[in-house]
Amino acid sequence: EVQLVESGGGLVQPGRSLKLSCVASGFTFSNYGMNWIRQAPGKGLEWVAYISSGSSYIYYAETVKGRFTISRDNAKNTLYLQMTSLRSEDTALYYCARHYYDGTYYYFDYWGQGVMVTVSS
C-alpha cells in the first residue's frame, strides 16, 4: 500500500525557517518524481514545487522561488521542503504528492494527509 506521511509542520514566526519531511512507503521511491502542494485555510490548491526521481529536474512556483528548496534522499525514501523567510501567506496545509509518469500520462496519483504550517508572530 502506497503511503506518504508528512511531518515537521508547526507554528513559526515570520522570517523564520522550517523543514518539512514526507516519508514514502509501499513503492520504489527512487522511481518517481514528487511534488509539494499547499492549501491555505479555506482556499484552493496551489502547486509549490516538483523534483524528479533523481533530483535532476526541480521546479518551483514563483511565490516560493528563492525561499523554498525541495530535495529528496532516495536512500531514506524521504522528500523534503526547506522553507526560509516564511511569510504569513505561506500559512497552509502542505501535501506531498507522488508524480505519476508512464512515458505518456502525468498526474498526481497519491497524496499524503498533509502537514499544517502556520506563520504568525
The interface region with another protein, picked from 13-21, 23-31, 75-83, 108-116 by CB under 8 A, is 108-116
Sheet-wide strand order for 3-7: 3-7, 18-25, 78-83, 68-73
Give the C-alpha separation, 92 to 36, whole Å: 12
What track of x and - describes contact with another protein for positions 62 through 81 (by CB under 8 A)?
x-------------------
Q: Are 49 and 36 in contact (CB under 8 A)?
A: yes
Site for another protein (CB under 8 A): which residue of 33, 34, 35, 70?
Answer: 35
Q: Which residues pair with residue 45 across a beta bridge?
A: 39
- Residue 5 binds another protein (CB under 8 A): no
Binding site for another protein (CB under 8 A): 35, 44-47, 50, 59-62, 95, 104-109, 111-114
